[in-house]
Amino acid sequence: MKAINWKSAPSPSYVVDERLLKRNLEILDSVQQRTGCDILLALKGFSMFSTFPLVSKYLKGVTASSLFEARLGYEEFGKEVHAYSPAYAEHEIDEYLKYIDHIVFNSFDQLNKYKEKIQKLDKHVSIGLRVNPGYSEVETALYDPCAINSRLGIPFDQFRPDELDGVEGIHFHAMCEQNSDVLERILPHFEEKYGKYLHQMKWVNFGGGHHITREDYDIDKLVDLINYVKDKYDVQVILEPGEAIALNTGYLVTTVLDIVKNGMEIAILDTSATCHMPDVLEMPYRPQIIGASTPNDKPYTYRLGGMTCLAGDVIGDYSFDEPLKPGDKIVFTDMAHYTMVKNHMFNGVNLPSICLYNEEEGIKVIRQFKYEDYRNRLS
């Protein structure tokens, strides 16, 4: 595979490699072909709509968690649009229903509030309920859909079987960046509580958190689990990974602006953890850098900091083969998902450019941001 010439990329910029994205999509489509399941792009993880012509060749549609995501999926993806929200605002529901084919409710009260409106539509919108299986293995509470007192999904002690009229599907989400063995342990908890109701459903949605395109992911086990549920309950199985679509397909290209010293050498970059890769602080996690290693593994160790005035805007400590100097390019890996969809302009810091790469065209700039993008978000 031809190497990317990072010198040709604007800085800072997100660069998505179409070759790697296609590889992921082929893996996901192989699961669809072996099981007949539907895999959706969760827009909350990856919404780079310039890639939708490619993504839509492989996946069945998108899943949205807001009105704007639903509209984006409807206008730009051109296939099925599924929606789930912890609650739907009354002033938005009519526009929502213009765009979507499936809608999942988080409570029976919301279901009963909007069911009649949905059933009177000229088109069919399939109705589902999100339930909480009461079991998960997510270590970070911020990302655990089944944490104690979670607002996501109907707990079993609040499930109302006598109010399922018009409901065609059940949705659960109990994973985050995990392998199929975790799903294997979740399913018995889900089946014990909700299995008997699946027989009257048309579909079941396994939610997200499936790291299907990760190198060590057990795809055969996932295929077996999907086929088991599909055959036992005669339902269509849906998965909606956001991260697996764009996992390891993108980069954040940055530049060293200055080197300062305070107990150690600190490199100030033209990027920001809080603005451009917020999961570094929220998750938290440590992004990888091409050619860099852990502190003190290589001869020269630096703390990499962002350009905002937030004291904690620190990406982490890394070591390099050569001393860093202003003007050096630093390229972070796995920066396609949960970056563009979460970034912001705190401190008036501009957003990275958005680029695509393929071997025919090289790095192609899709979007650059200006002062007006910052100003127009404010009042």
Binding residues for substrate, as ranges, are 243, 279
CA distances, 147 to each of 69, 130, 188 (Å): 26, 15, 18
What phi and psi values does residue 239 have, to the nearest 5 degrees?
Answer: -125, 145
Give residues with Cβ within 8 angstroms of 93, minimum separation 6.
Answer: 114, 117
What separation in angstroms does the CA of 211 have from each of 54, 182, 282? 20, 11, 19
C-alpha separations of 269 from 194, 302, 329, 371 in Å: 50, 12, 9, 20
- 247/17 Cα distance (integer angstroms): 11
Query: Which residues line the annotated binding site?
Result: 243, 279
1 burial via Cβ count (<10 Å: 0-12, 13-18, 19+): exposed
Give the whole-angstrom CA distance, residue 67 versus residue 84.
10
Contacts of 301 (CB under 8 A, 6+ apart): 264, 265, 295, 317, 318, 319, 320
Given a contact cutoff of 8 angstroms between Cβ atoms, the answer to whether 237 and 35 are in contact is yes
